[in-house]
Amino acid sequence: MKAFIVDRYKNNSALRLGEMPEPEVRDHDVLVAIHAAGLNALDAKIRDGEFKLILPYRLPLILGNDVAGVVVRVGAKVRGFKPGDEVYARPNQDRIGTFAELIAMNEADVALKPKNLTMEEAASIPLVGLTAWQVLIERAQLKKGQKVLIHAGSGGVGTFAIQLAKHIGATVATTTSTANVDLVRSLGADVVIDYKKENFSQVLNGYDVVLNSLGTDTLEKSLKVLKPGGKLISISGPPDMAFAKESGLNWFLQQVTRLLSSGIRRKAKRHGVSYSFVFMRANGEQLSKITSLIESGVVRPVMDRIFPFQATNEAMDYLATGRAKGKVVINVR
């Protein structure tokens, strides 16, 4: 099958379009013919080798973390899906590879595609939808009437998280550039900070939760907007000890993550708030709940551009500009 492949870790390097063997289908697997794949910042970080210590992939590696397609075959013990089912998923981190014609995934990581979405729209959802769900609902336990700041509101995670937080009944603030103010308002943001004109940390205060997807400077400034007992949750790092233990990292890497996050944890403690890191994981059950929200019109996908499969490298370059509103997707067939 055709696939876009990482042969060695290198910053901003092009992926190689080549032939790879069809994936093995295990007892609990579904084999999916890929129709569309979403692109994420995570793809570039894996390609550049940023995660090679905590995600030790064997190269050559097929890249890609979001998929929508049709089940073509199921393993002997699969009960939830059958050939012909239209599905979408974020594959388990050990089994990524959606920039290809086929992928095999454990059925526990897969959900039926929302009926009201195209394949391209569906492929834009899993990673960002699950990230927003695991931060806001699982980790933050966000409740009606609480206040949440979602950074980078016009990005993939931001556009989904704003809609989810509004559905919960929270007051939502977000940061974005001048060009995207109307977009984030249309998604339900109550307070919009144009970062080109205002410093969010001087405008906002008394917040219960911050979802950070940006760098260290933004992370530290975010402490100022939280009220005592508030939660600073980052998806862009630094990783913490809880993540290291959950991931089964060895003692040495656990100590490395402890050091990496010691500064922000210390500052959070001084402010009377908590810091934690979320690295989203595959979860078909949560994705099914997201399907219900999409089918009932609570959440809509936000897509910027669709590229043909052959132009996957151009799509990666476009995503790297940081100007995409919502998601960038490749059409595989």
Q: What's the pLDDT tens digit per position in 129-138?
A: 999 999 999 9
pLDDT of residue 284: 98
pLDDT of residue 237: 85
Which residues, 6+ apart, have CB-to-CB distance to 222 below 8 Å? 149, 151, 201, 210, 212, 232
The answer to whether 212 and 276 are in contact (CB under 8 A) is no
pTM of the predicted structure, to 2 decimals? 0.97
> Could you tell me which residues are beta bridge partners of residue 327?
303
Q: Which two tokens stand for residue 12?
A: 């901003």
Residues 22 and 108 in one domain: yes
Domain assignment present for residue 284? The answer is no
Q: In Å, how far are 1, 147, 308, 321 from 314, measured between CA atoms?
A: 21, 38, 10, 11
pLDDT at 116 exceeding the cut of 90: yes
CATH number for the domain spanning 236: value is 3.40.50.720
Domain assignment present for residue 288? The answer is no
Which residues, 6+ apart, have CB-to-CB distance to 293 below 8 Å? 164, 167, 299
pLDDT at 311 exceeding the cut of 90: yes
CATH number for the domain spanning 58: value is 3.90.180.10
pLDDT at 299 exceeding the cut of 90: yes
Q: What percent of the chain has pLDDT over 90?
A: 93
Q: What's the pLDDT tens digit per position in 315-333?
A: 999 999 988 999 999 999 8
Counting the structural domains of the chain, the total is 2
pLDDT of residue 54: 81
Strands of 16-19's sheet in order across = 16-19, 2-6, 61-62
Q: What's the pLDDT tens digit per position in 84-104?
A: 999 999 999 999 999 999 999
Residues 235 and 136 in one domain: yes
State mean pLDDT over 8-35: 97
Residues 315 and 245 in one domain: no
Domain assignment present for residue 59? The answer is yes
Q: What's the pLDDT tens digit per position in 41-89?
A: 999 999 999 988 888 899 999 999 999 999 999 999 999 999 999 999 9
Token pair 């405008």 is found at: 203
Dist CA 102 CA 275 (whole Å): 39
Q: Which two tokens stand for residue 260?
A: 């990496």
pLDDT of residue 85: 98
State mean pLDDT over 189-201: 97
Confidence of residue 18 (pLDDT cuts 50, 70, 90): very high
Residues 18 and 150 in one domain: no
Confidence of residue 313 (pLDDT cuts 50, 70, 90): very high
Q: What percent of the chain has pLDDT over 70?
A: 100
pLDDT of residue 177: 95
Q: What's the pLDDT tens digit per position in 141-173?
A: 999 999 999 999 999 999 999 999 999 999 999
pLDDT at 120 exceeding the cut of 90: yes
> What value does the mean pLDDT of the chain take?
96
What sign results for the dihedral spanned by CA atoms 233, 236, 241, 245?
positive
Which residues, 6+ apart, have CB-to-CB distance to 245 below 8 Å? 254
Domain assignment present for residue 72? The answer is yes
Domain assignment present for residue 292? The answer is no
State mean pLDDT over 206-212: 98
Domain assignment present for residue 232? The answer is yes
Domain assignment present for residue 291? The answer is no
Of 277, 292, 320, which marks where a domain is finished?
277
> Could you tell me which residues are beta bridge partners of residue 103?
32
The answer to whether 62 and 99 are in contact (CB under 8 A) is yes
Residues 261 and 202 in one domain: yes
Nearest to 184 by CA among 143, 171, 193: 193
Confidence of residue 19 (pLDDT cuts 50, 70, 90): very high
The answer to whether 198 and 173 are in contact (CB under 8 A) is no
Residue 323 sits in which domain range? 2-124+301-331
Q: What's the pLDDT tens digit per position in 225-256?
A: 999 999 999 999 899 989 999 888 899 989 99
Residues 185 and 238 in one domain: yes
Residues 257 and 137 in one domain: yes
Dist CA 316 CA 318 (whole Å): 5
